[in-house]
Amino acid sequence: MIRPLYSLVLIGAQPLLRRKLRRRGVAEPGYLEHVEERFGRYEAPTDPGRLWIHAVSLGETRAAAILVEALRRARPEVRILLTHGTATGRAEGQRLLREGDAQAWLPWDTPRAVRRFLDHFRPSAGILMETEVWPNIAAECQARAIPLALANARLSPKSLSQARRLGGLSRPAYGALRAVWAQTRNDARRLAEAGATVQGVFGNLKFDASPDPAQLAQGRDWRSTSPQPVVMFASSREGEEAQFLQAIAAHPEVQWLLVPRHPQRFDEVAALAAQAGFTVARRSTWDDAPAPAQVWIGDSLGEMPLYYALADAALLGGSFAPLGGQNLIEAAACGCPVVMGPHTFNFSEAAELAQEAGAARRVGSMEEGVRVAVELVRDRHARVQAVQASEEFAAAHRGAAEKTAAAVLKLIS
């Protein structure tokens, strides 16, 4: 009885979803595009048989890009259907599309919308990235014998507790998955407790990402022109920037770089820095070099390798508020040492391994984080060691892409 009740709640909430999309669309117009796809309605017929990969947001789409590249190396003719839940994820996903591929919003998890989605696209199999398991989608794929797997899978202790509380919904959904490939042994254990069939621990796909060489070169070139050490606050989240701006006021000897996680907040964060009394220069206004200012604002998408190469060290966004932390793997791959706050439960094992390897340092507060970052960039010997540790840490954990691609191809063969 629980899933039908869940479905009734979602059906009743559809007007609220439309209202939410209109609100989000004010800041991010992408949310106003192809709205009817959210309800399983599509404008044109499409060919069946694509491999469906669902990447809800920006981070999952970047992980999906690594998997797609590995799949195409092994089977160049593979056709992909990419689905998303956020505008940034969909915009990033457009870069992955080739002739014969398709892209759409993942439908709202009501029985009718899910049936329309599967009737329209008729995928050969579905690959959900990291955490996105929906009860009606899982049940309908199982009923149609469409193999559905969870790749690069993770499950935090907090999410496991939530799954236990909603066991009547979550356990059948996890149980309907044909396969789960976990990032870590701890993730595998928690996923099994939630009811999933875990078939492998492959590591994190994001370790297999190769930073754009041109961006790295540009960032390092710009770094060479700065007379001061550069410290970045990477992928900052709402509520953290005010703490950061307060903490850096005592350190004018450092060039500060602030890169917000969400593009719809670029203007807000730039205004916040100006209101705090700092001079501000935004990446979008730079010509051949960063403009002089106390705080640089990284207001562009897809340029994190450039920013990491420009910085001597980075504070990890999402870890100074109880948000679970952002991914530190890209920083390590770019050779940028990380200072992280107390909240890294979304990437707990990666954070612990990075700390053990010397690629990251743990602090208890923003004020301490700023102080530790400043000390690190002032100490040339310590920073050289941290850069080497970061690169070695990233290299030591590669290999998930080939393992995951091989498992996916077995699933659809």
Neighbouring residues of 263: CB distance < 8 A, sequence distance ≥ 6: 28, 88, 299, 301
Return d(Cα 211, Cα 3) in angstroms, integer: 43
CA nearest neighbour of 306 among 214, 413, 193, 411: 214
The active-site residue, picked from 33, 43, 60, 132, is: 60
Please give the structure tokens belonging to residue 33: 């595009």
Answer yes or no: 60 catalytic.
Answer: yes
Active site residues: 60
